[in-house]
Copies of this chain bind each other. A is one copy, B any other.
């Protein structure tokens, strides 16, 4: 599959990685960090798998399906956690995670 076909999924992965990294750092600045501990942990995992998914797709790798499939799962878990918290960084991250999960699921089905 040519690299061009991956464009929209790569963009969703980078958006999600950025939102997750921003959310993790912002959670660590909150008054009640303890309540945000699982959110921080999931954000870091999610940012890292999104970066990897973007990288393998940019290389039009034959492993794209495998990585996107794992990425979709991890985005889903992270998005569900973020959605529970009312802060802007969590709500924005929840949205980015869900969009990325959708894109990665489609990619995993196609690739």
Chain A residues with CB under 8 Å of chain B are 3, 10, 14, 17-18, 21-22, 24-26, 28-29, 31, 33-34, 37, 40-42, 44-45, 47-49, 51-52, 54-56, 58-63, 66-67, 69-70, 73-74, 77
Q: Please tell me which one of the listed residues B14, B22, B58, B77 contacts residue A59 in the complex, with CB atoms under 8 A apart.
A: B22
The answer to whether B59 touches A21 (Cβ under 8 A) is: yes
The answer to whether B54 touches A18 (Cβ under 8 A) is: yes
The answer to whether B77 touches A73 (Cβ under 8 A) is: no
Copies of this protein, total: 4
**Bound complex: CA A74 to CA B53 (Å):** 13
Q: Please tell me which one of the listed residues B25, B47, B51 contacts residue A60 in the complex, with CB atoms under 8 A apart.
A: B25
The answer to whether A22 touches B40 (Cβ under 8 A) is: no
Known: A28-B40, A41-B25, A61-B45. A55 touches B66 (CB 8 A): no
Contact partners of A41 in chain B: CB under 8 A? 25, 28, 59, 61-62
